[in-house]
Amino acid sequence: MDKLTRLALGSTWKTILLGPHTNRDLKGEVAIRQVVVTEPAQQLLHQTVPLEQVFDFPLIRVRAGDLFEGPMLLLSAFYAAAEKQGLLICPPSVGPQLRIEYEDQPENEVIFIAMKPILDYEEIPRVFRLEHPQTIRRLDALDTLIGAFQEDIWVFLDNRSGEMTGFADRLGLHSE
């Protein structure tokens, strides 16, 4: 069984509810949950646009190496490979919301959010990253100039059923 067949057999990992909220709401919830937000992640939070309606988002965790051969792949090619398997990039607000909800993240696990990169104040494209080093739950942002590495764990919107296609079209959640 090849890697892509194994991926197709996976199931939705988590479903999170996203909807209209303000960045202030997210920041307040993050503070209540005692999550550390790094400076790069704060810059992304300032630019995260809330959704206009409430939606359930089925998410799937993917080991990057299940989508490509070799040590690493540029982000655009990685996203395109994921889309061929029915996976879509997430709205940016998935990052902070998942950080709030994923309280039982295993220690030392790092998860990257598949999303359109947002330029930070230095115009470096970044995506959200959830970390749990030791006793700290942290929301950070990854510089995406390099791409995805084999062992990285990424979260995508699970659209293998096709049910999210119309929504994804409206929000531009396709690889480019």
Domain boundaries, the chain: 3-163
**Gap between the Cα atoms of 60 and 70, Å rounded:** 22
Digit-coded pLDDT (tens) for 67-106: 888 888 889 899 999 999 999 999 998 998 899 889 899 9
What is the pLDDT, as a whole number, of residue 95? Answer: 92
Q: Counting Cβ atoms within 10 Å, is residue 17 exposed (0-12), middle (13-18) or buried (19+)? A: exposed
Answer for the pair 124, 48: CB distance below 8 angstroms, yes or no: no
Tell me which residue has tokens 């902070």. Answer: 96
Residues 6 or more apart in contact with residue 170 via CB below 8 angstroms? none
Q: Quickly state the pLDDT bin for 55 (edges 50, 70, 90).
A: confident
**pTM for the structure as a whole:** 0.86
- Residues paired with residue 119 on neighbouring β-strands, in sequence order: 125
Cα 108 to chain center, whole Å?
17
What is the structure's pLDDT at 27?
61
- Burial profile 20-36: b = 16 or more Cβ within 10 angstroms, e = fewer: ebebeebbebbeeeebe
The average confidence (pLDDT) of the chain is 83
- 3-state SS assignment for residue 162: coil
Going by pLDDT thresholds of 50, 70 and 90, the confidence category of residue 26 is: low
Q: What is the pLDDT of residue 5?
A: 43
Residue where the block lists tokens 């709030």: 100
Q: What is the mean pLDDT of residues 39-63?
A: 86
The residue whose two tokens read 């299940």 is: 66
Asked if pLDDT for residue 124 goes beyond 60, the answer is yes
Cβ atoms within 10 Å of 56's Cβ, excluding its own: 10
